[in-house]
Structure 1
Amino acid sequence: MQKTATNLTPLALNDAPALIETVFPAQKVSFEAQKERKANLGQTLTGLGSYWKGRKPLILVRAIVLGSLLPPTDNSEADLALFEKLMAFDDEGLARRALAANAFSAGKLQEMIPISDPERYFGGRGWRRDITDDDKLVLYRQALATLSGYEEKASISKRPEELDQDWLFAPVWAEVNRHYAHLGVSVQSLPELVEQLGILRYGHRPRVGDTFSGGGSIPFEAARIGCDVYASDLNPIACMLTWGALNIIGSSPERRSEIETSQERVAKSVDAEITKLGIEHDKQGNRAKSYLYCIESRCPETGWMIPLSPTWVISKGRNVIARLTPDHSNKRFDIEIVTGVSDKEAEVANQGTVQDGDMVYTLDGKTHRTPIKTLRGDYRNADGSTGNRLRRWEKSDFKPQPDDIFQERLYAIHWITKESLAKTRQESWFAAPTDADWEREQRVDEIVTENLSRWQDEGLVPDMAIEPGDKTDEPIRTRGWTHWHHLFNA
């Protein structure tokens, strides 16, 4: 899109307050943020950052950036109305979002509102083939007006980011230009508006920095609406997520196509190598989808090795649990994977062997409870700092040493049947590891042992030490992990 000619005075808003200081539609932003959260796999950044629980909703980032750039005028009501238009929270934006979601069928529209000339819009059981979106919007506006409130309207609509932005905001720019004409604003897109507001406030395009970028939502959305962005994080996984958000998800359609082609090529190559190594397939050709591990530690009271997990429910939908059975001869527990248990047994299994920071288990009718901090051997130094008896892992470590306090144990494998591997809807089941599985596990250990140092030298695996800090000290204190690649075990 060609840039619009402007007559801006740089730094004209240098000392001006921000709109967010005077008006802000907090309730609507909150609802939209929850709507985005609940979209699960429908979230834009899910593929790269779904496990990053602190990731900020993109709609919230957009609202904060715009609210911080827009200046208030002497008409706060008009300011708020315009802000809601720029967020697609207004009636027109909601109508377009609802249309994009196909919220109403032809029949539903005729039930909701009186239509004097239905033949103009409908043919047979649906829309006429020659009907335009503008024609449909006439009816959608009327239908939405019959709904009681914002949440009811927004709940049946697509999220603003899911629509073509040029079409969604097409009606907005004339009003934006009128409202801020005294500042010389003349725009036809959100990035243009952001850039011009940045010039008015800072003398240049706005710069957004996020020093704890995590899953990358703040720099991603800020860049998408036109800011220059800078992001960093101590955690290399977070850096990877942020880089992916900006350079993969945020890339142009052409670049995205190139990346997808490369991804497919790499995925096929990796799949062929893994298949050749035979580390994910059993003899029948079934393939492992995921591996479930737990921590094990020795109880100081009984001397037994106790598997530790906050729950032993593996699948609520299938009522699959891990059942612990005492092995008195070896002073440990066998772990049996059981499918289709009763709801009562699943409820018992849900208690787990980690409860309120304690190791809790029952043996021969007696319940034993030991604080996890006791297992670690926590103590307080003379200077008030805390320490423990956990061995500090080395750069070359990727699994516990035999005499470590916390061991790791593979206790279940999620398998996909050979026949359904290529199907969209795969058939799977959970099972305890067999001797053959342990052999494959040993083979993986050997491969990593032989190659970890080289992978780190080549930059394929992080080799950075974890920097000290309030949060970054946690993996060191709780597990003895000292390098970022140790978190791959989490």
Structure 2
Amino acid sequence: MEKQVLEWGIETNEKGHRANSYLYCAETDCPECGYKLPLSPSWIIGKGTKTIAVLKDNGKDGFDIEIQSGVSDEALKRADEMATVRDGNTWCPQCKKSVPITVLRKDRKGDNGEMLSGLRPWGKTEFLPRPDDVFRERLYCVRYEYEEQYLASNGEWKSKTIRYYQTPTPQDMVREKKVEQLLAGRFVDWQNKGFIPNTEIETGLETARLTRERGWRYWHQLFNPRQLLVHGLFINKALSLNPSRQEVILILLGINKLSNWNTKLSRWNSDAA
């Protein structure tokens, strides 16, 4: 699996540094001013590294997101205060207006008192939002790492891992597009083989929220293209080794762990970053 990922070149930048984290956010259009609005309950990325995301007006139709590390305590506090999701509402830095998320979704009650959403339901073969969807998805930060050699006090050369956060570059976005293309070429085959989810989300008290609040109707839509590609590749490579029954169980436990921690529903922990 490692060899395939390296051959694809989807996690390595021009410096040879390897990405180990990708941060995405939902994005919508502010109904008050029309600006494209990235959504997050906090723009603090790492408290330990004092890394934040700063929304900067692009002077046209939305915000550029600039990643800054080693900032002051005041800047860290400001990043938390600039949250664009607050108590069930969106808040736009451009027009300074708040809008209930239920209004964005056009929530309403049905004839039987059930809560209905105005979001477009995603189709079975869709793994990306459409440009005109209420909620879209945006990559806004990549964390890279590399090994650096240094001379220790005892005169021996040692290595240490250096990690840094950055705003996605045009080359990063090219790699994102390649991920989408790689997945698209394998999507139907991998669904048929069970490497990635292919079933509809069952109706239930909690699961109904996925469709009502995001428009997702199938389990694979809880994962972005990069996550689906990695999960599918993991199972594909593991099963190609003709594993024993016991090994298959371990593979299933492994993919279950991946699915728990590598999904759109997973939240970034800024305390440890």
TM-score norm. by structure 1 comes to 0.43
> What residue is the counterpart of 1:292 in the other structure?
23
Question: Aligned partners of 1:482 and 1:310: how far apart in 2?
Answer: 25
> What residue is the counterpart of 2:79 in the other structure?
349
Question: Aligned partners of 2:148 and 2:218: how far apart in 1?
Answer: 41
Question: Which consecutive unaligned segments of at least 5 residues does structure 1 have?
Answer: 1-269
Question: Which consecutive unaligned segments of at least 5 residues does structure 2 have?
Answer: 150-157, 225-263, 265-273
Cα distance change, pair 379–424 in 1 and its aligned pair in 2 (3 A): farther
Question: Aligned partners of 2:97 and 2:59: how far apart in 1?
Answer: 16
Q: Give the superposition deviation at 1:382.
A: 2.2
Cα distance change, pair 375–424 in 1 and its aligned pair in 2 (3 A): farther
SS in 2 for 1:362: coil
Question: Aligned partners of 2:169 and 2:163: how far apart in 1?
Answer: 17
Question: Aligned partners of 1:435 and 1:418: how far apart in 2?
Answer: 24
Aligned residues of 1:285 and 1:418 also touching (Cα < 8 A): no
For residue 109 of structure 2, the aligned residue among 359, 364, 380 is: 380
> What residue is the counterpart of 1:148 in the other structure?
none
Q: What is the one-letter code of the residue matched to 2:161? A: Q
Larger radius of gyration between Structure 1 and Structure 2: 1
Question: Aligned partners of 1:419 and 1:376: how far apart in 2?
Answer: 48
Which structure has more strand as a fraction of its residues? 2
Residue 12 (structure 2) pairs with residue 281 (structure 1): yes
Question: Aligned partners of 2:2 and 2:130: how far apart in 1?
Answer: 30
Question: Aligned partners of 1:328 and 1:284: how far apart in 2?
Answer: 31
Aligned residues of 1:284 and 1:418 also touching (Cα < 8 A): no
Cα distance change, pair 424–457 in 1 and its aligned pair in 2 (3 A): farther
Aligned residues of 1:325 and 1:336 also touching (Cα < 8 A): yes
Question: Aligned partners of 2:161 and 2:90: how far apart in 1?
Answer: 36
SS in 1 for 2:223: helix
Matches within 5 A, 1:244-323: 270-323=1-54
SS in 2 for 1:350: helix
Question: Aligned partners of 2:118 and 2:39: how far apart in 1?
Answer: 18
Post-superposition Cα deviations, 1:360-415, rounded to whole Å, max 9, x if no partner, equal 1222xx52101111111111122211212211111211110111110100000010
Matches within 5 A, 1:55-74: none
Q: Give the superposition deviation at 1:418.
A: 5.0
Residue 214 (structure 2) pairs with residue 485 (structure 1): no
Cα distance change, pair 458–424 in 1 and its aligned pair in 2 (3 A): farther
Q: What is the one-letter code of the residue matched to 1:384? A: G
Question: Aligned partners of 1:322 and 1:299: how far apart in 2?
Answer: 19
Q: Taking every aligned residue pair, what percent have the same amino acid on both sides?
A: 40
Higher relative contact order (CA 8 A, sep 6+): 2
Q: Give the superposition deviation at 1:326.
A: 0.6
Post-superposition Cα deviations, 1:223-282, rounded to whole Å, max 9, x if no partner, equal xxxxxxxxxxxxxxxxxxxxxxxxxxxxxxxxxxxxxxxxxxxxxxx1100100111001
Aligned residues of 1:390 and 1:479 also touching (Cα < 8 A): yes
Matches within 5 A, 1:209-224: none
Q: Give the superposition deviation at 1:357.
A: 0.5
Q: What is the one-letter code of the residue matched to 2:6? A: T
For residue 444 of structure 1, the aligned residue among 179, 192, 197 is: 179
> What residue is the counterpart of 2:66 in the other structure?
336
Residue 151 (structure 2) pairs with residue 416 (structure 1): no
Question: Aligned partners of 1:282 and 1:385: how far apart in 2?
Answer: 49
Cα distance change, pair 425–483 in 1 and its aligned pair in 2 (3 A): farther
For residue 125 of structure 2, the aligned residue among 365, 387, 396 is: 396
Q: What is the one-letter code of the residue matched to 1:303? A: G
For residue 189 of structure 2, the aligned residue among 439, 454, 457 is: 454
Which structure has more helix as a fraction of its residues? 1
Aligned residues of 2:91 and 2:98 also touching (Cα < 8 A): yes
TM-score norm. by structure 2 comes to 0.76
RMSD: 1.5
Post-superposition Cα deviations, 1:78-117, rounded to whole Å, max 9, x if no partner, equal xxxxxxxxxxxxxxxxxxxxxxxxxxxxxxxxxxxxxxxx
> What residue is the counterpart of 1:472 in the other structure?
207
The count of corresponding residues between Structure 1 and Structure 2 is 216
> What residue is the counterpart of 2:100 in the other structure?
371
Question: Aligned partners of 1:456 and 1:320: how far apart in 2?
Answer: 38
> What residue is the counterpart of 2:165 in the other structure?
430
Question: Aligned partners of 1:293 and 1:452: how far apart in 2?
Answer: 21
Question: Aligned partners of 1:416 and 1:469: how far apart in 2?
Answer: 41
Question: Aligned partners of 1:479 and 1:397: how far apart in 2?
Answer: 13
SS in 2 for 1:373: helix
